[in-house]
Amino acid sequence: MPVDRVVVSPEEILQVQPPPQADAPPSLVKAMPSPVPWWARVGLSFLVLALPLLCVLSIVLRIAFRSQPARVKYAWVSFLSTLLVISGFLTTVGAVLVYSFVPVPAIVNTGLTELDERGQYPALPAAEALTGAEVSSKLKPLVIVVSPAASFMNRQEGPSAVFGAGVLLGADKDGYLFATANHVVNYSGWGSNPASGHVLVATESGIWSKADVVANAPQLDMALLWVRRNSGSTSFAQPIAAARDGESVFVIGHPEGLKFTLSTGIVSGLRDQSIQISAAVSPGNSGGPIYDDRGSLIGIVSSKFDNNRDANAENLGFAAKADAILQESNWTFRGNGRQWLSRYIAAVKSGQTPRQTPVPDPNAKGATQD
């Protein structure tokens, strides 16, 4: 037997409900005060600015009210939950604003403390030929790690994954002048910006400092760095000598991340503005010094023959001639770069020996420059 479907609308239900009586007693529920007193609401509201403290207090109150009636626990839980939501939102907004606009303290030093504290530098060129052990102890402290500065998401700078070497040319009361390879300071990989005009450098202590790029010689693949001095006044001028075909050489650098590695070899040939050496060099040696057996600087490592092109190629390293550093016409200067290089050239000239390369005087009659 079919059954008829009856649909009742809300309006029809309201029509059959009895009207409220005028003399009905007021609701007891509405008349009851809130379990959370007003002074607690006002006092705890300020904790929205301190989310960790609010979290701890919520846990404490939750434990303290565990034996209270359900109505009291529910009221406090609702109130504290509201405060936690508001505090979480404010904390997130505050963190974003701080991250976006507040400067982050630098993680690098403003100087090279290890060099500032040196009481003396090795006397170079040495009177007698140096052994490998003597080169390691005397000359390794004059070598630095050079890395392009990489910018992180928090606008902080740190060393990039690529690095080379550098060598101390001169030290005076104002700061330190270093030489390195131009392609090291002009690396434009992820996060790095060659246009910033500075790189990061570190000594054997591993503490990074900022160094300004004060001169470039792209045609020679060399660059000059300057680091301001914070203390001390010990001076130093690295002697420079012309390379001689067949002489013994010492190379210091950081091949494949093995920092401050010493390798030996000979000058295999003189190639116009470059020196060919048999000493082992690898990525990480770029910008590192090549010394003769008296500690004079004869070259700055620039490249090696790529074994991927010819697997049979061995011991084919190349370096820019160090005496090109003394030619101011080779350089494009930034800031006070010309002043720092002129000071170094004057210091080298005052301590020059017959073995060293004569420093050209651009003001002398008939003087020529390469």
Q: H or E stretch including 175?
A: strand 175-180
Q: For residue 15, what pLDDT is reported?
A: 65
* CATH class for the region spanning 113-350: mainly beta
Between CA 123 and CA 80 the distance in angstroms is 73
- Under a CB-based contact definition with an 8 Å cutoff, are residues 122 and 136 in contact? no
Q: For residue 25, what pLDDT is reported?
A: 61
From the number of C-beta atoms within 10 Å of its C-beta (0-12, 13-18, 19+), residue 86 rates as middle
| Phi-psi domain of 49 (left: phi exceeds 0; alpha: psi -120 through 50; beta: other) | alpha
| Phi-psi domain of 135 (left: phi exceeds 0; alpha: psi -120 through 50; beta: other) | alpha
- Under a CB-based contact definition with an 8 Å cutoff, are residues 71 and 77 in contact? no
The amino acid sitting at 152 is: F
pLDDT string in tens for the chain (370-residue length)? 566 666 666 666 666 656 666 565 655 555 567 888 888 888 888 888 899 998 998 898 888 888 888 888 888 888 889 999 999 999 999 888 876 776 555 567 788 999 999 999 999 999 999 999 999 999 999 999 999 988 766 567 778 888 999 999 999 999 999 999 999 998 876 656 777 789 999 999 888 999 999 999 999 999 999 999 999 999 999 999 999 999 999 999 999 999 999 999 999 999 888 999 999 999 999 999 999 999 999 999 998 665 555 555 566 889 999 999 999 999 999 999 999 999 999 999 887 655 666 666 555 444 433 3
Question: What residue ranges of the chain are covered by domains with CATH 2.40.10.120?
Answer: 113-350
